[in-house]
């Protein structure tokens, strides 16, 4: 277990993503995945109010609802660390105080809980003052409805500005970011955002940790059919350079008797600015691939870093 910097949140090194709960995975399948995760020591689930409004006939909130029904049925809320997000739901856009308060209540209802452990600003909203947004979070924390706040899809400059404003005005500050980062997609995070995260002493909980499934190794040259609803997204990474990354991962995975997904997530954890990477699973078999925690040697980390 690890502790997220600047918090007392003690979490499993794999944060279970839930954007597919209610879409690629139905309620029963989602509950089975969460059962397996919990039984293997997992306690950290990431969701958002807007998951999964992109599915025809959905309005958002479906993932939260499924997580809420699971926690109620298992009576395990106190054992879980739940992260959700506000600002990108079609019917609850932005970071005004009014919207944050309303969205938070709706998320609490769907999750069937009275508090959120980690509440993200899912994207920045420059139309609202930092005073209003952070003041709203301060009120929710004072009321016990939110424990900590974090940011996703912010620019490095805006993240720095937001945290400075919090510190200067005695308001709660973002304790983490959630940014796209994986072994074959490094440019978004490495550079200025990573530098700011390190300077501020917070951490990144990266999403797409296994590159939409590409880093599981199921997508190889000449393989055309893969049993995954995410196949199209994974194939965006299909090129010679990334196939070379898979080949290097094959060797390391064999050394550790581990899945390729576990190696990809271990590489992320080797970065001192990363805490718990996020990955999702549609089936229990997929969950078992991503939950294995491996520690890579410095040489193995360097090999993967150089090739990618």
User: Is residue 208 among the annotated active site residues?
Assistant: no
How many Å apart are CA 131 and CA 283, to the nearest integer?
43
**Beta-sheet pairing, 81-86 with 44-46:** parallel
Helix spans in 57-120 (H): 62-74, 97-111
Place of tokens 């004072």: 142
Is the peptide bond preceding residue 52 cis, with omega within 30 degrees of 0? yes
DSSP 194-233: HHHHHHHT-EE--BSTTGGGGGGT---TT----S-TTHHH
**Four-point Cα dihedral 6, 96, 71, 23, nearest 10:** -110
Strand, coil or helix: what is 287? helix
How many Å apart are CA 109 and CA 292, to the nearest integer?
33
Place of tokens 């999403």: 207
Residue ranges with strand state E in 38-87: 44-46, 81-86
Contact between 206 and 179 (Cβ < 8 Å): yes
Contact between 260 and 237 (Cβ < 8 Å): no
Among candidate residues 51, 148, 174, 237, the one labeled active-site is 51
Contact between 191 and 163 (Cβ < 8 Å): no
In this structure, how many other beta carbons lie within 10 angstroms of the beta carbon of residue 26?
13
The dihedral through the CA atoms of 184, 25, 176, 10 has a sign that is negative
Catalytically annotated residues: 51
């Amino acid at each position: 277990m690890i502790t997220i910097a600047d918090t007392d949140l003690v979490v499993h090194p794999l944060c279970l993503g839930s954007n597919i709960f209610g879409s690629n995975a139905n309620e029963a399948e989602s509950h089975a995945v969460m059962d397996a995760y919990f039984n293997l020591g997992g306690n950290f689930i990431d969701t958002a109010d807007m998951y999964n409004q992109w599915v025809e006939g959905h309005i958002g909130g479906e993932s939260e609802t499924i997580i809420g029904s699971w926690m109620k049925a298992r009576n395990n809320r106190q054992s879980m660390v739940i992260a959700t997000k506000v600002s990108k739901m079609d019917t609850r856009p932005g970071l005004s105080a009014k919207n944050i308060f309303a969205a938070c209540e709706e998320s609490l209802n769907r999750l069937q809980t009275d508090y959120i452990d980690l509440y993200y600003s899912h994207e920045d909203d420059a139309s609202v003052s930092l005073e209003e947004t952070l003041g709203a979070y301060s009120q929710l924390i004072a009321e016990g409805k939110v424990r900590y706040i974090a940011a996703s899809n912010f620019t490095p400059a805006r993240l720095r500005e937001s945290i400075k404003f919090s510190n200067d005005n005695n308001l709660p500050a973002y304790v983490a970011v959630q940014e796209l980062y994986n072994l074959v997609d490094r440019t978004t995070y490495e550079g200025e955002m990573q530098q700011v995260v390190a300077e501020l002493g917070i951490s990144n909980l990266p999403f797409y940790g296994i590159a939409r499934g590409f880093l599981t190794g199921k997508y190889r040259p000449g393989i055309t059919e893969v049993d995954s609803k995410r196949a199209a997204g994974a194939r965006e990474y299909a090129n010679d350079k990334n196939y070379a990354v898979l080949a290097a991962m094959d060797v390391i995975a064999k050394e550790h008797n581990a899945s390729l997904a576990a190696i990809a997530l271990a590489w992320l954890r080797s970065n001192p600015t990363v805490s718990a990477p996020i990955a999702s699973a549609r089936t229990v078999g997929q969950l078992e691939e991503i939950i294995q925690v491996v520690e890579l040697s410095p040489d193995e980390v360097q090999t993967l870093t150089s090739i990618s």
